[in-house]
Amino acid sequence: MRTRPREGKTRRAFTLVELLVVLAVIVLLLAILAPVVTRVLVVVHKTTCQSNLHQIGLGMQQYVIDYRHYPGHASALRHGYAYAVWPTRIRRYASQSGAVIYCPERPDAFKWPRIVSSSTGGDYATEEDAAEWFYEAGEKMLKVHSTPFSYAYNDWGNHRYGPTDHQRGLGGDIRSMVAVDDLPAAAVVSPSDMIAIGDSQQKGSWDFNLDPGDPEERPAKVHDDGANIVFCDEHAEWGLQSYWINVNTGTEEGKKMASRWNNHNKWTPD
């Protein structure tokens, strides 16, 4: 004869001590795993950044093929303020949205702030800006003095600039301010050994240009105390900040690095 189970039977609950033990185990596991997860994110961001810079390098290569000169850093034509032009000139080839021109290790404030207005003029691109610099007509332009940005461009190389000086980077202030022309493609002697674009200092001012001798504009310490850099042949490298800024021409290492910043691939200005 089958018997019915006793009704109203209660199950045993966890005691307070058991709950505290479980909670302690969870906290311990989190404490053990947190550094591992953090390290994984650092590696992922570093790798993604290198991939982004590689795409930017490919875009710059295509721009150079089409126009036979490098995009240059900035211009103040028609506006009176300096606006970055290298991101828009490369964007057409690397990513129309500009999404790859952002390091994932940075805060969201350093993403490209694409704002488009129905009006033009002032900080908003005109039809002439669209034709020459590849801004979208009505798009808010990237003011170099006050726009946070992830990546920066090797504009003047390892030597001071001036109207009568040799331009040793990839092009500074195009036909404005310290006026220079677009740098011809042939001026870069060794594309595989010429620094092009890399992690900026993240200061929110002059984030668009790299200068190894300027503490405010040198490559950043954003990835393991170092920065990712893409070269003119589109390959990307990581190095410690101390590596990228060692341009002490009194040493062989410094001469070699100084040469990598200069389009004639020499450590001397001439």
**Does residue 213 lie in a domain region?**
yes
DSSP secondary structure string, the chain? Answer: ---PPPTTPPPPPPPHHHHHHHHHHHHHHHHHHHHHHHHHHHHHHHHHHHHHHHHHHHHHHHHHHHHSB---SEE-TTTSS-EE-HHHHHHHHH-TT-TTSS-TTS-GGGS----B-S--BTTB--HHHHHHH-PPTTBBP-BTTT---SEEEE-STTS---TTS---SS--EETSSSEEPPPBGGG-S-GGG-EEEEE----SSSTTEE-TT-TTTSPP-TBTTEEEEEETTS-EEEEEHHHHT---TTSHHHHHHHHHHSTTS-SS--
Q: What domain count does the chain have?
A: 1
For residues 57 and 230, the answer to whether their CB atoms sit within 8 Å is yes
In a domain, 220, yes or no: yes
User: Domain for residue 153, yes or no?
Assistant: yes
Angstrom distance (rounded) from CA 176 to CA 180: 7
Question: For 132-191, what is each residue's pLDDT tens digit?
Answer: 999 999 999 999 999 999 999 999 999 866 655 678 999 988 887 666 789 999 999 999
The whole-number pLDDT of residue 12 equals 67
In a domain, 126, yes or no: no
The mean pLDDT value for 244-266 works out to: 96
Please check whether residue 78 lies inside any domain of the structure.
no
Place of tokens 């200061």: 203
Using the predicted structure, report yes or no on whether residue 198 has a pLDDT greater than 80: yes
Q: Is residue 233 part of a domain?
A: yes
Write down the pLDDT at residue 144. Answer: 93
pLDDT one-digit tens code per residue, 74-128 = 998 777 789 999 999 999 998 777 889 999 999 999 999 888 888 787 899 999 9
Residue 11 tokens, joined: 């199950």
**CA 147 centroid distance within chain:** 13
Alpha-carbon distance of 87 to 240, in angstroms, equals 25
pLDDT one-digit tens code per residue, 51-66: 999 999 999 999 999 9
Residue 3, pLDDT above cutoff 80:
no
Helices 86-94 & 16-67, crossing angle to 10 degrees? 100
Pairing of strands 195-199, 226-231: antiparallel
Domain that holds residue 57: 20-70+101-106+143-261
> For position 8, what pLDDT does the model report?
55
48 domain residue, yes or no? yes
pLDDT attached to residue 56: 97
* Chain centroid offset of residue 186 CA: 25
Q: For residue 218, what pLDDT band results from cuts at 50, 70 and 90?
A: very high
End-to-end Cα distance, the chain? 107
Asked if residue 207 belongs to a domain, the reply is yes
Rg of the chain's alpha carbons, rounded to an integer?
26
CA distance 119 to 125: 9
Distance of CA 199 to the CA centre of its chain: 4
59 token code pair: 């875009």
